[in-house]
């Protein structure tokens, strides 16, 4: 009996130990993955020669600082190793780990012919060029690319994870079906670019320009937990955008259109709007603090629990609201609840915002005009009365005649 009990205890200890070690290994694995992700919660900038690390949400507080990455080493040689479908870029030291795979030899980073099914991991390069070709089914993780150029190309089915792009240029290019997670993009330029089916999350895009771009039209685009800091958008159209917890810090939007989109938890921190059209949008739980130039219109849109703080670039400005509905919202301290229809929000204040001073000055001017008007009326009446009485006192009007001498 004692032997049976001892055996059960040993089995219990073994099982418990195995399960515990298994759980611990999973926890360690999850910890490593979370550490990689959490490391991206910070970005590095250089201020007056000092390199500091901050969160992406605080980047706009340091406009005079430059984004910083460690210098890239271009000396590594990478080999293309194909195992089943994907071709992975690896260094020579790791070739021995892929004995049963096909070695395609040394790979370069200048693509001028179509390519597909490539896997890039833990690579740093500053000479990547994709020109006049098509790339399909690409996977990129833990990479840093500087001075990367894409021109007249089609990128289809891109998966990108924990990657930094600095001085990235994309011209006359389309991106279709891209999953971008933990992207750190700095000083990039997009021109004549078409994007659809884009899922961008947990990312920072800073000091980047979008000119003549189309984002949407065919497939929904999802931007979640994304910060756009000091970016410029011109002649660009967003459509079918689903945004959650997106932050737009500074920058300018000029000749931009938003169509058929939804914003939840959106924050605008003083971007400048000029000739911007918002049509058929839904805003929920948003804080919108913007500087307005001219020709800004919201039409066919709904606002639920939205706080507006609107400033003008010039002394006077206006925003048109056409066929809109406000619920539990505030606009420059004016409560808008269950208010629908057409509105025009106009700034009647001076640029310094001294509304009371302007009101007092207006009142004084009104009083002065009223006093002058009363004085003029009294003078005119006095003149007419004087003429009337003077005429009544004339001798000829009383029937008198002069005596003969």
Backbone angles phi, psi at 376, to 5 degrees: -60, -45
- pTM across the whole model: 0.73
Percent of the chain with pLDDT over 90: 58
pLDDT, tens digit (0-9, with 9 covering 90-100), for 70-124:
778 788 899 999 988 899 999 988 988 898 899 999 998 999 999 999 999 999 9
How far CA 91 is from CA of 144, 180, 201, in Å, comes to: 16, 25, 30
pLDDT (0 to 100) of residue 398: 45
Mean pLDDT computed over 38-42: 55
Q: Where are the domains of the chain?
A: 39-68
pLDDT, tens digit (0-9, with 9 covering 90-100), for 179-219:
999 999 999 999 999 999 999 999 999 999 999 999 988 78
pLDDT (0 to 100) of residue 316: 76
pLDDT tier at 404, thresholds 50, 70, 90: very low
> Is pLDDT above 50 for 12?
no
> Is pLDDT above 70 for 29?
no
* 345 burial via Cβ count (<10 Å: 0-12, 13-18, 19+): middle
Secondary structure (H, E, C), 78-112: EEEEEECCEEEEEEHHHHHHCCCCEEEEECCCEEC
């Amino acid at each position: 009996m004692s032997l049976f009990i001892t055996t059960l205890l040993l089995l219990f200890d073994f099982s418990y130990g195995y399960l515990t070690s298994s759980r611990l290994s999973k926890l360690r694995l999850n910890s490593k993955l979370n550490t990689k992700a959490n490391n991206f919660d910070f970005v590095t900038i250089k201020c007056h020669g000092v390199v500091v690390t901050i969160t992406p949400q605080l980047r706009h507080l340091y406009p005079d600082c430059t984004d910083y990455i460690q210098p890239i080493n271009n000396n590594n040689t990478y080999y293309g190793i194909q195992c089943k479908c994907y071709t992975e870029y690896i260094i020579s030291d790791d070739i021995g780990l892929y004995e049963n795979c096909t070695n395609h030899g040394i790979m370069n980073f200048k693509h001028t012919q179509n390519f597909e099914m490539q896997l890039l991991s833990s690579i740093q390069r500053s000479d990547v060029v994709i020109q006049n070709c098509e790339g399909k089914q690409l996977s990129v993780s833990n990479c840093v690319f500087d001075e990367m150029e894409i021109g007249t190309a089609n990128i289809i089915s891109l998966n990108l994870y924990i990657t930094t792009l600095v001085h990235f240029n994309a011209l006359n290019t389309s991106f279709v079906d891209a999953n971008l997670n933990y992207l750190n993009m700095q000083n990039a330029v997009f021109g004549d670019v078409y994007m659809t089916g884009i899922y961008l999350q947990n990312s920072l895009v800073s000091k980047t320009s979008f000119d003549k771009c189309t984002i949407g039209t065919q497939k929904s685009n999802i931007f979640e937990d994304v910060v756009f800091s000091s970016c410029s958008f011109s002649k660009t159209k967003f459509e079918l955008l689903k945004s959650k917890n997106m932050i737009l810090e500074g920058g300018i939007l000029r000749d931009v259109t938003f169509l058929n989109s939804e914003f939840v938890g959106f924050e605008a921190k003083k971007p400048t709007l000029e000739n911007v059209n918002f049509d058929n949008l839904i805003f929920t739980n948003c804080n919108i603090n913007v500087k307005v130039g001219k020709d800004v219109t919201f039409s066919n849109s709904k606002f639920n629990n939205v706080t507006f703080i609107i400033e003008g670039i010039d002394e006077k400005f206006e925003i048109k609201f056409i066929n809109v509905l406000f619920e539990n919202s505030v606009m420059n301290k004016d409560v808008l609840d269950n208010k629908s229809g057409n509105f025009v929000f106009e700034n009647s204040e001076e640029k310094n915002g001294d509304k009371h001073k302007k009101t007092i000055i207006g009142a004084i001017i009104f009083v002065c005009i009223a006093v002058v008007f009363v004085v003029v009326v009294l003078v005119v009446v006095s003149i007419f009365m004087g003429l009337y009485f003077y005429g009544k006192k004339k001798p000829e009007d009383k029937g008198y005649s002069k005596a003969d001498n």
